[in-house]
Amino acid sequence: MGGKGATDNREANPEDLLPLTTVELNILLSLTDGQHHVYGIIQEVERRTGGKTRLGPGAPYRAIRRMLEDGLVEESDERPDPGMDDERRRYYCITGFGRRVTSAEVARLEELVKAARDKGIRPAP
């Protein structure tokens, strides 16, 4: 997956970008399975969360713009099926640095959940 976006930021510390917003984390999780366009990301998030998380119309675009600048995602040069696709649609993929930041965020959230459980907080039945 080649891209037109920022570099991979191999020397950057993933924890410097934490915490991620809910929108950013959901976009990165969507892109771990492969490239998507924004509408595909929105659909995948709604499907994965059973409709509990819905990305508004402008939020994904703002988040992707920030993540492009930070080197978490890049615009993909590849197209799934050019004959079945709108050539104006942009596809995005996660970078290696984006995967490291996602992993760091998941670890941060796991620590937070552990702290809550240690205090006796459990999900409602």
Residue range(s) defining the domain that contains residue 52: 16-118
Per the model's pLDDT, the better-predicted residue between 4 and 100 turns out to be: 100
Is residue 24 in a domain? Answer: yes
* Residue 31 near residue 93, CB atoms below 8 Å: yes
Is residue 45 in a domain? Answer: yes
Confidence of residue 11 (pLDDT cuts 50, 70, 90): confident
Domain count of the chain?
1
Quote the pLDDT of residue 57.
82
| CATH number of the domain to which 80 belongs | 1.10.10.10
pTM for the whole thing?
0.86
Is residue 8 in a domain? Answer: no
- Give the chain's mean pLDDT: 90
**pLDDT at residue 69 greater than cutoff 80:** yes
Is residue 34 in a domain? Answer: yes
As a dihedral over the C-alpha atoms of residue 23, residue 104, residue 99, residue 113, rounded to 10 degrees, the angle is -50
- CA-to-CA distance for 60 and 45, rounded, in angstroms? 11
